[in-house]
């Protein structure tokens, strides 16, 4: 399993670690209107899945905004999903205030379906570890980053390069 800290403290990641070459695990999360969203809802697209601890923090906000900006350049065949354990109501408020158009912000609060499937649940905090996964259009994982310190940014350039190659 990936070794991750949050604010310098080691955390235990729950779930199955995902590796490049794996078939992307299925999950069910909630959209801001409380409707269920699954991985299959974006089937046939290249996907960047950006997991963040909380959309209301500065690094998570910046990460989501950066992927939104880049998604506009990648084209419609690339979907960007930002997933956190924030309540859908909080995510809706953030989305309304942010005005972002190219990222779908989703909640894993209900049952940690995404976090467990992708090995990204920080047990001690019941939040998602900062991580990025790129899936090609057939659902194969082509890039994985579990950010070693949860308050740091992911490697945007490597994730974006993987998404471009997966198109």
DSSP conformation letters of 110-158: TT-HHHHHTT-EETTTTEEPPEEEEE-TTSBEEEEEE-SBTTS---HHH
Q: Which fold would CATH assign to domain 4-166?
A: Glutaredoxin (3.40.30)
In the numeric block, the tokens 């690339």 are attached to 78
Question: How many whole angstroms separate alpha carbon 71 and alpha carbon 74?
Answer: 5
Closest of 1, 11, 3 to residue 118, by C-alpha: 1
What local confidence, expressed as pLDDT, does residue 46 receive?
97
Pair type for strands 4-6 and 9-11:
antiparallel
Catalytic residue among 46, 51, 52, 60: 60
Element (H, E) at 95: helix 88-98
What is the predicted pLDDT for the residue at 48? 98
The answer for residues whose C-beta is within 8 angstroms of residue 27's C-beta and 6 or more apart is 38, 39, 108, 113, 114, 117, 118
The domain segmentation of the chain, as residue ranges, is: 4-166
Residues 97 and 52: their CA atoms lie apart, in Å, by 18
> What's 43's DSSP letter?
T
**What was the pLDDT predicted at 167?**
86
Give pTM, 2 decimals: 0.96
Please say whether the beta carbons of 64 and 52 come within 8 A: yes
Does 60 participate in catalysis according to the annotation?
yes
39-45 contacts, C-beta under 8 A, 24 or more apart: 39/139, 42/79, 42/81, 43/139, 44/137, 45/77, 45/78, 45/79, 45/137
Question: Contact, 146 vs 19, CB < 8 A?
Answer: no
* Tens-binned pLDDT, residue by residue, of the chain (167 aa): 678 999 999 999 999 999 999 999 999 999 999 999 999 999 999 999 999 999 999 999 999 999 999 998 999 999 999 999 999 999 999 999 998 889 999 999 999 999 999 999 999 999 999 999 999 999 999 999 999 999 999 999 999 999 999 98
């Amino acid at each position: 399993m990936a070794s991750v800290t949050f604010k310098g403290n080691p955390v235990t990641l729950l779930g199955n670690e995902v590796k490049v070459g794996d078939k992307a695990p299925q999950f069910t999360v909630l959209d801001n209107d409380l409707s269920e969203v699954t991985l299959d809802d974006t089937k046939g697209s290249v996907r960047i899945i950006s997991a963040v601890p909380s959309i209301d923090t500065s690094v998570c906000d910046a990460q989501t905004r950066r992927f939104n900006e880049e998604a506009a350049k990648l084209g419609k065949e690339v979907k960007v999903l930002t997933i956190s354990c924030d309540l859908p109501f909080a995510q809706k408020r953030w989305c309304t205030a942010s005005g972002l158009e190219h990222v779908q912000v989703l909640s894993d609060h209900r049952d940690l379906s995404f976090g467990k499937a992708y090995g990204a649940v920080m047990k001690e905090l019941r939040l998602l570890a900062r991580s990025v996964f790129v899936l090609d259009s057939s659902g194969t994982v082509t890039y994985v980053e579990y950010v070693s310190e949860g308050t740091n940014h992911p490697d945007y350039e490597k994730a974006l390069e993987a998404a471009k190659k997966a198109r």
